[in-house]
Amino acid sequence: MPRYALKIEYDGRPFAGWQRQSGHPSVQGAVEAALARLEPDLPAIAAAGRTDAGVHALGQVAHCDMAKEWDPFRLAEALNYHLKPQPVAVVAAAEVAQDWHARFSARERRYIYRLVSRRAPLTHDTGRRWRVPHPLDASAMHDAAQVLVGRHDFTTFRSVQCQSDSPVKTLDRLDVSERAYPGGTEYLFDVRARSFLHNQVRSFVGTLERVGAGRWTAGDVAAALEAADRAACGPVAPPDGLFLDGVGYPDDPFA
């Protein structure tokens, strides 16, 4: 059976997350239903990561095994036809080796979190940004974020439901920048690592927002990390602003 990698974009608001769930809409379920329209009885697909309810993706990657050979462009076009009108799109497809795996072959996951500071409610970006009504200090958030970069025990910043075998992970990057946004300011959190714990990025952002608001310091973030205690974490940011931006592989199948 030929194997294909799929780069998938989606709006996470209508879904209970990536993973297929009985009785709840999921992105995986939507893609598998579209695949079934092309070839029935296909194996389940596998993805680079499982996003939670309300979390979006610009570059989720999954792989599927097909019964026959497909031109990758035609496969993407056919899937997009059957995915309508759901907010899910296959933006690229590529044939890969039989031992290539969307999850286990990945070397990096990249997330972007988008936070907006403005008094007025959001209209066009409702559900796609986290809005706070107060100003934030981007430099303070960026400086505090560097405390978290490197290899650490991230128990403080993972959900109690996390199923990872170990809380020890290596965070490669956590940069905070700002840019103009109509009526306010947008803050971008660029987060990169080989793998993440459940709710880790949202826990980082919620904690760093407290720094930006002047309620926490970089020292408080360091103390929370050192505590290795979930109770020491700041508020957890909502899923609205979180996007799986991309997945890195030793050889990019979509290059």
pLDDT above 90 for 239: yes
Q: What's the token pair of residue 112?
A: 């972007």
Is there a catalytic annotation at residue 52? Answer: yes
Q: What is the mean pLDDT of residues 200-224?
A: 98
pLDDT above 90 for 164: no
In the chain, the amino acid numbered 124 is H
Q: Which of 11, 41, 52, 125 is catalytic?
A: 52
8 A C-beta contact, residue 91 and residue 9: yes
Q: Answer with the residue of higher pLDDT: 76 or 164.
A: 76
8 A C-beta contact, residue 206 and residue 221: no
- The pLDDT confidence band at residue 149, using thresholds 50, 70 and 90, is very high
Q: What are the residues whose beta carbons fall under 8 Å from the beta carbon of 233, sequence distance 6 or more?
A: 156, 157, 203, 206, 207, 224
pLDDT at 165: 87
Question: What burial class does residue 22 get, using C-beta atoms within 10 Å of its C-beta: 0-12 exposed, 13-18 middle, 19+ buried?
Answer: exposed
pLDDT at 56: 98
pLDDT above 90 for 160: no
At 50-108, the pLDDT tens digits run 999 999 999 999 999 999 999 999 999 999 999 999 999 999 999 999 999 999 999 99
β-pairing, 184-193 with 168-181? Answer: antiparallel
pLDDT at 162: 86
Q: What is the mean pLDDT of residues 174-179?
A: 98
Q: Name beta bridge partners: 248.
A: 108
Give the residue ranges of DSSP H helices in the chain. Answer: 27-38, 72-83, 138-145, 200-212, 218-227
Only one residue has tokens 């990561």, namely 49
At 28-57, the pLDDT tens digits run 999 999 999 999 988 899 999 999 999 999
CA 145 centroid distance within chain: 18
Q: What is the mean pLDDT of residues 126-151?
A: 98
pLDDT above 90 for 225: yes
- CATH numbers and ranges of domains, the chain: 3-105 (3.30.70.580), 109-246 (3.30.70.660)
